[in-house]
Amino acid sequence: MTHRKPAAVAAASFLLLTGAVITAAPGAHAGAPGGTHAVDRDSDFDGDGYDDVLIGAPTGTDGSRKNSGYVTVQYGGPRGIGTASGTRKARTAVFGQNTPGVPGSAESGDGFGAAVASGDLNGDGYDDAIVAVPGEDVGGVRDAGRVTVLFGSKTGLKASGSVTFGAATPAADAGFGLAVAAARLSGAAPGDVLAVADRRGVHLFTHAGGALRPAGRLDTVGAPGDESIQPASLTTGDYDADGYADLVVAGRSLEEDGQGRSAVYRGGAGGLAYVRDLPGGPATASGDIDHDGYDDLVAGRPDRLEDEYEPLTGGAVLVFHGGRDLFTGLDEFGRPDQVWLQRDPGVPGTPELGDGFGYDVSLGDADGDGFADLAIGVPGEDIGTVRDAGMVVVLRGSARGLTTAGVVSFTQNTANVPGTVEKGDRFGAQLRFADTDRDGRAELLATAPGENSSEGSVWHVPGSAAGIVTRGSWSYGPRSLAAPPAGARLGTAVDE
């Protein structure tokens, strides 16, 4: 762990948005409780109490349309998630724009599933799947982008009644939907607020009166001379424990040569309010690492970082601890006192240019001790002479924060991990903790979109009393889910 010195920060702005109403399906389960927790990281599309898993394959084939994209769903249960056939057969589903009932039609380059998220938008007690289609042309406007919502129900996600929508004013190459998230950011509606990023900011939507309605916009790209952030990811957490989720918009600074940057917005009964910028991003995750009742924020900076203070070759992971005033332990410029590097004692690996340490991050409780553990993707890690094979590192949470005690790292060459390292696999490109069998110990899903000639694969690594263990690991690809495999890059996006 490294103690960092300050870097400059600046602001973003908030303005209201008006636009058309998006008609949505009515509440499917009148008996389910309305409303949501401030932050509910469980993706439970059928309301059975087990985590479900939503994965994007944005370059997959839907029907005859190559490179149009689809998403896969695996429903949790007493045995956890499984595949469409074989000894691990369990309930699964595949959705694309050619699925009957899903709005639109599949076209090459749409990128259906380039980003995914879940949340109970209509407050019916079932999580809904939010699927980005950032390459969708809208009314002749190239790559304006759209988002599709598949609503949850007692039987799981439904194509019928699903809706699709875009920005109030479509713009060419805007990429509406390049990142999505949902949580209880305000008290404006019984369900979660939906946040959708494009290349200039974030659009907000709420569900009311049977429809999704525009509720505001966060403009993170300011006038020249302002600190501007081009969004790349969104995360939510209740960092001040006030019962409302807060939103972090992470991306790259347009003023600081692409350095990772994040804008923090505090949630409340009246909506979101800008608080400050923080260093770090574009990868982010939220969870309670030290079990103090406040969510913490982790931001990955996977690039080669050179500043006037120190070189950070290979990437870094910054930890911001939540507290009553949102974050604690910051200096006057917003730098945290905890930054993890591969060169730190106890952290596996050696920092090298292009490693991508912190390319993706995920927080979850793998050992059931109440402290969130951190998984760090290092997809650019070379294994021996094999370039960009990839690696995953897991640091355990504790009352004192993250620790290297009991640290775990693994690659496809690690004992009990299926497969063999290959050039360009990028193992660890996406990560997600999920307790799909409800045993109180989250499993870790790690993806390698480049696996098997870019079909993509996902590894399921068990949690245990000792934390993440590779014994019992298994992997699967599109074929195992009865999905088209060619060039799918399954695992490009995983619902956090």
What are the residues facing 247 on neighbouring strands? 236, 265
Contact 397, 371 (CB under 8 A): yes
Residue 122 CA to residue 218 CA, distance in Å, equals 22
User: Residue 228: its pLDDT value, please?
Assistant: 87
Report if residue 2 sits inside a domain. no
Contact 419, 36 (CB under 8 A): no
Report if residue 4 sits inside a domain. no
- Within 13 Å and on the Cβ side, how many CA atoms surround 368? 12
Report if residue 298 sits inside a domain. yes
User: Residue 33: its pLDDT value, please?
Assistant: 27
Contact 283, 299 (CB under 8 A): yes
Report if residue 464 sits inside a domain. yes
Grouping H, G, I as helix, E, B as strand and the rest as coil, residue 425 is coil
Phi, psi for 138 (deg, rounded to 5): -125, 110
Give counts: helices (H), strands (E), the chain.
1, 33
**Taking Cα atoms as reference points, which of 300, 463, 321, 336 lies closest to residue 398?**
321
DSSP state of 29: -
The residues, ordered by sequence, that sit 6+ positions from 222 with a Cβ below 8 Å of its Cβ are: 11, 12, 13, 228
User: Residue 70: its pLDDT value, please?
Assistant: 98
CA 58 to chain centre: 15
User: Residue 496: its pLDDT value, please?
Assistant: 85
User: Residue 167: its pLDDT value, please?
Assistant: 95
CATH of the domain at 149: 2.130.10.130
Residue 387 tokens, joined: 């370039």
429: left (phi over 0), alpha (psi -120 to 50) or beta: alpha
User: Residue 148: its pLDDT value, please?
Assistant: 98
The residues, ordered by sequence, that sit 6+ positions from 45 with a Cβ below 8 Å of its Cβ are: 52, 54, 73, 75, 118, 126, 127, 128, 129, 152, 153, 156, 157
Report if residue 6 sits inside a domain. no
Integer-rounded Cα Rg, in Å, for the chain is 21
Grouping H, G, I as helix, E, B as strand and the rest as coil, residue 451 is helix
Tally of structural domains, the chain: 1
Report if residue 1 sits inside a domain. no
User: Residue 346: its pLDDT value, please?
Assistant: 94
Give start and end residues of each alpha helix (H) in 75-166.
none
User: Residue 227: its pLDDT value, please?
Assistant: 67
Report if residue 365 sits inside a domain. yes
Report if residue 433 sits inside a domain. yes
Residue 27 tokens, joined: 């509440």
User: Residue 305: its pLDDT value, please?
Assistant: 58
Low-confidence ranges of the chain (pLDDT < 50): 2-37, 223-225, 308-309
User: pLDDT (tens digit, 9 = 90+) per residue, 352-384?
Assistant: 889 999 999 999 999 999 999 999 999 999 999
Q: Is the peptide bond before 282 cis (omega within 30 degrees of 0)?
A: yes
* pTM of the full structure: 0.91
Whole domain around residue 388: which residue ranges? Answer: 13-494
